[in-house]
Structure 1
Amino acid sequence: MPEPLKRKKKDGTSYERPPEIEAWLKKLETVDVAERLRQFATLSRKSIGYVPSEALVYFLRRAWADGMQGDFEKIFRILMKRIEQSLCSAISDSRMTGARGIREEIMDRFAERIAKDCKGRTGLLDFYEIRFDKAFAAFRTSALRQIGPTVVDTMPLGTDEDDGLEISAEVEAAAADFLGGDPEKFDDPAFRLELTAAIDCLPDDQKQIIGLLLQGFQIDSKDKNIMTIARILQCDERTVRNRRDRACKALKAILQEESAQ
Structure 2
Amino acid sequence: MSEENAPPGNLGSGSQNLISVPAIEPLTRGNYKRLPAIELLIREIIVLESTGLIARARQRNKTSPEFLPPEVLVYFFRRAHRLGDKSVRDSLLSELANRCAQHLQGKMAGFSPALQDDMRQEVINKVIEDLLNPDDRSDFAQVCFWRYFKYKYLDVCDRHNKDRNVESLDAGWDSNREEQSETKLYKLPDHRLSPEQYVFLKNALESLPSDLRKLFFLAHYLKIQVESKDPNEITLSKHFGVTGRTIRTRLGKAKEYLTRYLEDV
- Partner of residue 45 from structure 1, selected from 62, 70, 75: 62
Cα distance, 1:74 vs. partner? 1.3
Q: How does 1:46-195 map to 2 (within 5 A)?
A: 46-92=63-109, 95-97=110-112, 98-115=115-132, 117=133, 120=134, 122-148=135-161, 152=168, 154=170
CA shift at 1:222, angstroms? 4.4
Preserved contact between residue 74 and residue 141 of structure 2 (Cα < 8 Å) = yes
Counting only pairs closer than 5 Å after superposition, residues 205-224 of structure 1 correspond to structure 2 as: 205=197, 220-222=209-211
The one-character-per-residue Cα deviations of 1:183-217 (angstroms, maximum 9, x if unpaired) are: xxxxxxxxxxxxx671645556369959xx9xxx9
The separation in 1 between residues aligned to 2:93 and 2:200, in whole angstroms, is 36
Instruction: Say which one has the larger Rg.
Output: 2
Q: CA, structure 1 residues 144+129, in 2 after alignment: closer, same or farther (shift >3 Å)?
A: same
| 1:30 positional shift | 3.4
> What's the CA shift for 1:113?
2.4
3-state SS in 2 of match to 1:152: helix
Judge conservation of contact 2:57–2:95 (CA < 8 Å) in 1.
yes
Instruction: Report the counterpart of residue 30 of structure 2 in structure 1.
Output: 8
Q: Secondary structure at the match of 2:105?
A: helix
Is 2:189 the counterpart of 1:198? yes
What one-letter code is carried by the residue in structure 2 that aligns with 1:221?
A: S
Total equivalences in the alignment: 184
Using structure 1 for the length normalisation, give the TM-score.
Answer: 0.57
Q: CA offsets, 1:91-137, max 9 Å, x none?
A: 25xx432222221222222222233x1xx3x1110100000011111
Pairwise CA distance, 1:8? 2.7
Cα deviation digits, residues 14-36 of structure 1 (max 9, x gap): x2111111111111113222111
User: What is the DSSP-based 3-state SS (H/G/I as helix, E as strand, rest coil) of the residue aligned with 2:24?
Assistant: coil
Residue 68 to residue 199, structure 1, CA distance change in 2 (3 Å): farther
Aligned-residue RMSD, C-alpha: 4.0
Q: Counterpart of 1:17?
A: 34
Compared CA separation, residues 28 and 197, structure 1 to 2 (3 A): farther
> RCO higher in 1 or 2 (8 Å CA, sep ≥ 6)?
1
TM-score, L = length of structure 2: 0.56
Aligned-partner residue type, residue 84 of structure 1 = A
Which blocks of at least 5 consecutive residues in structure 1 are unaligned? 10-14, 156-173, 179-195, 230-236, 246-261
How far apart, CA to CA, are the structure 2 residues paired with 1:243 and 1:79?
46
Cα distance between partner residues in 2 of 1:102 and 1:139: 11
What SS does the corresponding residue of 1:84 show, helix, strand or coil?
Answer: helix
One-letter amino acid matched to 2:120: R
Percent identity, aligned pairs only, is 19
Q: Distance in 2 between matches of 1:130 and 1:103?
A: 22
In structure 1, C-alpha distance between the alignment counterparts of 2:50 and 2:200, rounded to whole Å: 48
Q: CA deviation at 1:58?
A: 0.3
- Structure 2 stretches of 5 or more lacking a match? 1-22, 172-183, 218-253
